[in-house]
Amino acid sequence: SIVNGKLSNSLAPGMFSLDDNVAEANRPYNDDDDALNEAEVNGNWTPQEKALHEARLKAKAKRRLRKSSSRNSTSESFSESGELAGGDPHSPKGKVNTNDRKSRTGKGRGLPKKGGAGGKGVWGAAGMVYEIEEPDARDPNYDEFAQGDTVYETVVPEVDEKELEKMVNPIVQEYFEHGDTKEVEMLLKELNLGPHKYEFSSVAVSLSLEGKASHRELTSRLLSDLTGKLLSQSDMGRAFDKMLKELPDLILDTPEAPQMLGQFIARAIADHVLPMSFLDCYKGKVDCDHARVALDRAAVLLTMKRKMVRLDNVWGVGGGLRPVKHLVKEMNLLLKEYLISGDVSEAEHCLRDLEVPHFHHELVYEALVMVLESTGDTASHMMIKLLQLFNIFKTLLTCLNIRVYDELPEISLDVPHAHSIMETFVDLCYQESVITKQLRDACPSRGRKRFVSEGDGGAIKN
């Protein structure tokens, strides 16, 4: 108490100081219980002892409440009147434990949130039934042999429409070299073209339009072989319909694209690649002039060849697909027309259309045989011009040494003066720089050459 401005240590009856309360609160309450029980038995409590007993009870209740509280920051204490009082949040006991999973509101029963099912790394609520999990191959305890039979399946991703042309172009270009439709079919099966598989036909036809007649013939055969295996008639119809719409762009690179596409359509209908009613679907519905030209071309070809089952000769049989006898016949006709007309450019054009650079030696052989069988010098000079053209194309005349020189004895049976004619023709070829000196000296002679006399200086008798 304060008396005259001074602090007095004397207390009124039934009052106790703060130091006494702290000391009493820090003391273990088991000893207090023993003392109180002993005092209660004696029944001689004084008023001071009674007040001290009440203070101890309050301190005991405060310790129990603080011990059972879930958070120190929200711990509650009883005032002297028995009411709850909030603690100081700035005190050390008022700090919030962020790792505590219990409710922070202070209103709950102290149980974990969501019944123990919430949070990271928990097992879940009590009584929860989990589904059967598939074994993970990356699990250290994974046993491959204990899992039973394992089935491995190769999944090929579907080819995108933009990448389809890049992947199909090499296949078609290689097919133009080897001509094996089964290899193309095998390569296409490895690709997952999906709903865009019909575009393979349009890409193949577009590439053949820029190529040779033999390429177009190979493309027609490829479409015929793939129909019913990888492609259906509806897929072919969609492909040709797309090309008819793209004709204004195709003629920029190939001016003859409408006529060629019409021939493709006619050949496809004859080969049962397209249905017979394909042309009927476009009657009166075509606004593009180029598409109309292509459809008219196809209709004319089908009308002309209506008695034929297949339009096999619509592209001609170009390249090495022709039989040897047919190529020899074509070479003879080319040379005969050249001897009659004398047009070297026409002969060159016809030779290019045959598309057989590996068979040019046959043309040289047939030309030399015609020279040996001719009666005048006209054929010799004309054939020399033609052979000069072969030198421009870098075609070697080794067939002179391989075939003509070796077969000259047999040729002389039909042409008695074959040796002398050959010597004269070889000299002319050497003078025109058609052949080399070594090839000229290799020309065989018939027996020993006769001289005018032994002392005439070596002049040869004509």
The 10s digit of each residue's pLDDT in 28-54 is 445 445 555 555 545 577 888 888 888
Please report the pLDDT score of residue 321 as a whole number.
60
Q: What is the CA radius of gyration of the chain?
A: 55
Helix (H) or strand (E) holding 86: strand 84-86
Q: Is the pLDDT of residue 227 over 80?
A: yes
Confidence of residue 78 (pLDDT cuts 50, 70, 90): very low
Contact between 197 and 230 (Cβ < 8 Å): yes
Q: Helices 324-341 and 344-354, interaxial angle, to 10°? A: 170
Q: Which fold has domain 161-304?
A: 1.25.40
Q: Cα torsion at 202, 204, 207, 208 (round to 10°)?
A: -110
Q: Which of 422, 439, 421 is nearest to 430 (CA)?
A: 439
Contact between 260 and 297 (Cβ < 8 Å): no
pTM greater than 0.75: no
Please report the pLDDT score of residue 207 as a whole number.
92
List Cβ neighbours of 45 (8 Å cut-off, separation of 6 or more).
39, 53
Q: Is the pLDDT of residue 8 over 50?
A: no
**2-3 vs 6-7, strand pairing mode:** antiparallel
Q: Is the pLDDT of residue 413 over 80?
A: yes
- Tell me the C-alpha distance between 418 and 446, whole Å: 10
Contact between 370 and 337 (Cβ < 8 Å): no
Q: How far is CA 290 from the centre of its chain?
A: 33
Confidence of residue 359 (pLDDT cuts 50, 70, 90): confident
Please report the pLDDT score of residue 239 as a whole number.
93
Confidence of residue 105 (pLDDT cuts 50, 70, 90): low
**Domains 161-304 and 319-441 agree in fold:** yes
List Cβ neighbours of 450 (8 Å cut-off, separation of 6 or more).
460, 461
Q: Is the pLDDT of residue 19 over 80?
A: no
Q: Indicate the DSSP class of residue 195.
A: G
DSSP assignment of 101-160 equals: -B-SSS-S-SPBGGGGT-STT---STT--PPPPPPPTTSTT--SGGG--------PPBPP
Tokens of 262: 């019409």
Q: Is the pLDDT of residue 269 over 80?
A: yes
In three-state form (DSSP H/G/I as H, E/B as E, the rest C), the secondary structure along 404-435 is HHHHHHHHHHHCCCHHHHHHHHHHHHHHCCCC
For residue 277, how many other CB atoms are within 10 A of its CB? 9
**Angle (nearest 5°) at CA 344 between 340 and 350:** 90
Contact between 11 and 51 (Cβ < 8 Å): no
Confidence of residue 284 (pLDDT cuts 50, 70, 90): confident
pLDDT digits (tens, 9 = 90+) for 127-178: 777 777 777 778 877 776 666 676 777 777 888 878 888 899 999 999 998 8
Please report the pLDDT score of residue 24 as a whole number.
47
Q: Determine the straight-line distance between the first and last CA of the chain, rounded to whole angstroms.
A: 167
CATH placement of domain 319-441: 1.25.40.180
Ranking 65-74, 169-178, 239-248, 296-305 by mean pLDDT, the lowest is 65-74
3-state secondary structure of 395: coil
Domain boundaries, the chain: 2-84, 161-304, 319-441
List Cβ neighbours of 301 (8 Å cut-off, separation of 6 or more).
262, 263, 266, 311, 314
